[in-house]
Amino acid sequence: MAQHPIILGIETSCDETAAAIVSADKRVLAHALWSQVDAHAVYGGVVPEIAARAHVDHLDHLIRQALSQADMQLCDMDAIAATAGPGLIGGVMVGVVTAKAMALGAGKPFIAVNHLEGHALSPRLTADIAFPYLLLLVSGGHCQLLVVKGVGRYHRLGSTIDDAAGEAFDKTAKLLGLGYPGGPAIELAARSGDPKRFSLPRPLTNKPGCNFSFSGLKTAVRRAAEALESEQGGVHDRDLCDLAASTQAAIGDCLINRTKHAIAQYLEDYAPKAPALVVAGGVAANETLRQRLTGLAQDHGLAFYAPPLWLCTDNGAMIAWAGMERFQIGQSDPLDSPARPRWPLDETAPPLYGHGQKGAKA
Ligand code: KG4
Ligand code: ZN
C-alpha cells in the first residue's frame, strides 16, 4: 500500500510556539504546543521581543517532541512547512530559518505557509469541505470574509477597516481588567451576564457590503464603565459580567450581519453545488458565535463547519495541513523565500518552483 505523504508544520508567528505532524489522509500524528500566554499576560498583550526569544527557547524541543510522539525521524517527513507570515517578524524568522535549515539538512522541500491560509484551510483537516466555501476568518490580527475557491485562490469580500474581532475582545477585556487573552475571559464572564443591559455600537451593520469596524466598541465600553463609576462609585462583578455579555453580543451582531451579506454575494456569484459557511481563527472558539453561525447557515441552506477548539487558535497542525494541501498540488518554495510581516491572503504568491509532483501548477 502506498505511503501517504507526511509533513512537519511549524508555527511561530505570534504567541504560540508549535510543531505538528500530519499525513495526507488527515491524521494528526503529533501536535506539540507551548503557549506563551503567561509571559505576556502581565503586559496585557503580546510583546514581540519576548515572543521572539521564547520561540528560540522552545521550538527545538517542541519539534523533537513532535517527532517522538509520531515515532518518526526527520527523514520520514516529505516536506517541512513553516508560517512565513503574516505575523510578528522576529517570531516568523525563527520558524522560517529553523524549517529551512531542517529542509536543507534532510534534503526535503520547504513550504512557506501563509498563516491566514493555515486558518483558512484548517477546517478541511477535520471535515471534507468542497471548494468554493465561504469563510469567516476571525483572529487576533485579522477579520475577513473570503470565498475560498481553492488552495491559494481567495476572493476577499470584506475585511475590517480598523480592529480585528479578536483585538476588540482583547482590548475590551484589558480595559475591564478581565485579563489576557481577552476572548476566553469575556466569554466566561458573559455566561452570567445580561447581553441587553448596555447598548453598545454595531458599526456598519446597516451599510451594504461585508466590511467590519470594531474600534468604537472599546470607547463605548470605557464610557459605560466611567458612568458606573460616577453613578454608583465603582464597577461591580455583576456589571463586569453584563458589560462582557453586551460586548460579546455587539461583536457577534456585527459578525452575523456582515456574514449575512457575504452569504448573499457568495450564493449569487458562485452558485456553489455544496454551499458551506466555515469559521476559522481564534475567535471561532467562541461557543456563542458558533451557535449563532450555525443558525445563520441553516436559515440560508448552507452547511456549517467550525474546526475543533484546539484547531481554532494558533497551532502547528493547521500549518502542516496547509503545507500538505500545497504539497499535493506540487508546490514548494525556494530556500531564499522571505519571512513576511505582511502578506494578504488574496495575494498568496504563486510558487517560484514546484517540487516536481504530478499535477504541479505554476
Ligand atoms: O488565531 P489566533 O490564536 O491568533 C491570531 O492569529 O491572531 O487568535 C487569537 C485571538 C485572540 O484575540 C483571542 O482573544 C481570541 O482569538 N479568542 C477568542 C476566544 N478564544 C480565543 N475570542 C472569543 N472567544 C473565545 N473563546
Ligand atoms: Zn492565527
Ligand nearest, relative to CA of residue 174: 1
Within this chain, do residues 138 and 287 fall inside the same structural domain, yes or no?
A: yes
What is the per-residue pLDDT for 42?
Answer: 86
What is the per-residue pLDDT for 357?
Answer: 38
The total domain count for the chain is 2
Nearest by Cα to 296 from 254, 262, 255, 256: 256
Within this chain, do residues 317 and 269 fall inside the same structural domain, yes or no?
A: no
Residue 325 counted as an annotated binding residue? no
Within this chain, do residues 32 and 64 fall inside the same structural domain, yes or no?
A: yes
**Pairing outcome for strands 6-11 and 79-85:** parallel
Helix (H, G, I), strand (E, B) or coil at 148: strand
Within this chain, do residues 40 and 181 fall inside the same structural domain, yes or no?
A: no
Within this chain, do residues 16 and 56 fall inside the same structural domain, yes or no?
A: yes
Within this chain, do residues 201 and 323 fall inside the same structural domain, yes or no?
A: no
Within this chain, do residues 91 and 49 fall inside the same structural domain, yes or no?
A: yes
Q: Work out which ligand 1 atom sits closest to the CA atom of 173.
A: 14
Ligand nearest, relative to CA of residue 319: 2
Please indicate, yes or no, if residue 360 is contained in any of the structural domains. Answer: no
Please indicate, yes or no, if residue 342 is contained in any of the structural domains. Answer: no
What is the per-residue pLDDT for 296?
Answer: 98
Within this chain, do residues 165 and 69 fall inside the same structural domain, yes or no?
A: no
What is the per-residue pLDDT for 243?
Answer: 98
CATH number of the structural domain spanning residue 106: 3.30.420.40
CA 313 to centroid of ligand 1, rounded, Å = 6
Residue 286 counted as an annotated binding residue? yes
Classify residue 156 as exposed, middle or buried by CB count within 10 Å of its CB (0-12, 13-18, 19+).
middle
Within this chain, do residues 185 and 146 fall inside the same structural domain, yes or no?
A: yes
Please indicate, yes or no, if residue 336 is contained in any of the structural domains. Answer: no
Ligand nearest, relative to CA of residue 285: 1
Q: Work out which ligand 1 atom sits closest to the CA atom of 142.
A: 7
Q: Which domain holds residue 66?
A: 6-122+311-329
Please indicate, yes or no, if residue 200 is contained in any of the structural domains. Answer: yes
Within this chain, do residues 201 and 296 fall inside the same structural domain, yes or no?
A: yes
Please indicate, yes or no, if residue 69 is contained in any of the structural domains. Answer: yes
CA 283 to centroid of ligand 1, rounded, Å = 4
What is the per-residue pLDDT for 362?
Answer: 27
Ligand 1, CB within 6 Å, residue ranges: 14, 139-141, 166, 169-170, 181-184, 187, 281-283, 285-286, 313-314
Please indicate, yes or no, if residue 1 is contained in any of the structural domains. Answer: no
What is the distance between the alpha carbons of residues 279 and 294, in angstroms, rounded to a whole number?
Answer: 10
Please indicate, yes or no, if residue 340 is contained in any of the structural domains. Answer: no
Choosing from 121, 286, 313 the residue with most ligand 1 atoms within 8 A of its CB, the one to mutate for a pocket test is 313
Within this chain, do residues 113 and 137 fall inside the same structural domain, yes or no?
A: no
Alpha helix positions (H), 271-361: 287-299, 309-312, 316-328
Please indicate, yes or no, if residue 221 is contained in any of the structural domains. Answer: yes
- Cβ-based neighbours of 309, under 8 Å, separated by 6 or more: 285
Residue by residue, pLDDT tens for the chain (362 residues) are 568 999 999 999 999 999 999 999 999 999 999 999 888 988 888 899 999 999 999 999 999 999 999 999 999 999 999 999 999 999 999 999 999 999 999 999 999 999 999 999 999 999 999 999 999 999 999 999 999 999 999 999 999 999 999 999 999 999 999 998 999 999 999 999 999 999 999 999 989 999 999 999 999 999 999 999 999 999 999 999 999 999 999 999 999 999 999 999 999 999 999 999 999 999 999 999 999 999 999 999 999 999 999 999 999 999 999 999 999 999 999 999 999 999 998 775 544 444 543 333 32
Q: Residue with the nearest Cα to atom 1 of ligand 1?
A: 282
Within this chain, do residues 238 and 321 fall inside the same structural domain, yes or no?
A: no
What does the block give as the cell for 306? 467550525
